[in-house]
Amino acid sequence: MAKLNFGGVVENVVTRDEFPLDKAREVLKDETIAIIGYGVQGPGQSLNLRDNGFNVIIGQRNPSKSWDKAVEDGWVPGETLFGIEEAAEKATILQFLLSDAGQIAVWPTLKNYLTPGKALYFSHGFGITYRDRTNIVPPSDVDVILVAPKGSGTSLRRLFLEGRGLNSSYAIHQDATGRAFDRVVALGIGVGSGYLFETTFKKEVYSDLTGERGTLMGAIAGIFEAQYHVLRKNGHSPSEAFNETVEELTQSLMPLVAENGMDWMYANCSTTAQRGALDWKNKFRDAVAPVFEELYDRVATGKEAQVSIDSNSQPDYREKLNEELRELHESELWLAGKTVRSLRPENG
């Protein structure tokens, strides 16, 4: 384990240099890894593990669209693709990658297959952290570990195929075998992590729920809508409003931030842009800080978790979600975006 200094704060991290793929394969050479669930994270993690030479099987309900997708991805029914119970029985490591609501529903069945010495793996701290609400309480004689890629399963797979990696956090909730650290790091390397940084189940879910509702998805979508509508209200065309709100950010400026940081992006913009950005940055920070405080408090007290549990467990949840996404898709902002994307040179 390496110790890296982040602006005066020292963190424990694990890199591929100190824990190479060959070492990960050696650690897990006698293990059978069952991916339970083939939705958001399941495909990316399982395919990366398979391509990296690990012994992987899939546990998925049949019939289902996810089962069909697994078959399309090359998993063979009866050989590497099984029902959830059969896969759980065969596995020594159970990667519990169902949705949070799905985990709650399947847990009464899955826990019966957690025999001594096995490992229960999560990519989200939700089920364990909010166990008073989820009732997910593992037996004391299994390892309980977490690897949380900092992005979608789709991004994890794409970056893997490009020879890159997506950074992940790792955590150990329970070390029953004395091998939990080696297991969790080997799995983190195996699924394609760029580097692994240490956390806890609680910190992972608190930061994850805050980020998803904040700058990663919720806040950025809200800011896009606010600026776009102000521009449109003041007579700017959809093309102009979208380009100044979304396209320039995602296609030009954010890649610069990813490359060398916000200050470097500023340095590569006009002096007028720099001055305005620096003058207005603090206004926006101070305006939204109370919203983030409220958000974090709701996450820490479990209120956001309960909202997710209550809504996602409803039988018509998928229909309601699709309707909300349809409204987003058909809004002028994102219809403009569809047109702008189609006009990018690579699409011409």
Residue positions annotated with a catalytic role: 124
β-bridge pairing 119-122 and 93-96: parallel
Crossing angle between the packed helical segments 303-312 and 271-300, to the nearest 10 degrees: 80
Q: Which two tokens stand for residue 230?
A: 């102000």
Crossing angle between the packed helical segments 332-342 and 317-329, to the nearest 10 degrees: 70
β-bridge pairing 2-6 and 9-15: antiparallel
CB atoms within 10 A of CB 200: 16
By C-alpha distance, which of 102, 50, 48 is closest to 80?
50
| DSSP, residue by residue, 138-171 | --TTSEEEEEEESS-HHHHHHHHHTT--EEEEEE
Residue 10: is it exposed, middle or buried by C-beta count within 10 angstroms (0-12/13-18/19+)? exposed
Q: Which two tokens stand for residue 326?
A: 């349809």
323 backbone dihedrals φ, ψ, rounded to 5°: -70, -40
Type and span of the H or E element at 94: strand 93-96
